[in-house]
Copies of this chain bind each other. A is one copy, B any other.
Amino acid sequence: MQERETGASAARHVRRLWSIDPTAVQRSNLHFMNRYMQLAIESALEGVRKNHGGPFGACITQNARVIAVAHNTVLRDRDCTCHAEINAIRAASKKLRCFDLSACELYSTAEPCPMCLAAVFWSRIRKIHIGVGRQVAARYGFDDARLHAEFRLPQHRRVMAIQTGVMREACQNLFAEWKSLHRDLY
């Protein structure tokens, strides 16, 4: 009898666990998402006021823990690769001492440009949360939309001047050398 009661009590407990109001879960998720995005926005604002670069911020999280917050520093660092997302990925990799960020999520105030989107791919970040799309950045004169369009074109129609096949054989041999050393693919 005692045992049956305990079983019934356990079942009630499980039911309680599974009957959490789903809208409450959504509200809670939204609360955290907004908190992370708020950190990205505050960083972007700081960058704009200090004239570090454009109005872009990013935040990287891992299991509800903030790993890195960064903003665009192209002007401060005189380096075109210093977009908010790249800065955040670099900071997160340094903190976690790992190039694989597959347990992480990224919050970005604006849609990442192709450079940052590809960096997210290489970092294996599992999800991107975006504030505004490329159209908003374009309205303020930022070139992201043009670059996104460039990537959809076949190579011969792109504006970038590219010459291929320079020392092709020697460059091919690099891969053979790499393979002969049995290096891990990462």
Contact = CB atoms under 8 A, between A and B. Distances in A.
A78 B99 contact: yes
> Copy number in this complex?
2
Nearest to A33: B166
Contacts of A183: 48, 51, 54
A38 to B, nearest CB: 7
A33 to B, nearest CB: 6
A162 B141 CA distance: 24
A182 to B, nearest CB: 11
Contacts of A75: 99, 186
A169 to B, nearest CB: 9
A99 B80 contact: yes
A174 B79 contact: no
A165 B93 CA distance: 26
Given A107-B166, A131-B171, 14 more contacts: A37-B167, A45-B174, A45-B177, A75-B186, A77-B93, A79-B99, A80-B89, A81-B89, A81-B122, A117-B160, A122-B147, A131-B170, A132-B171, A142-B185
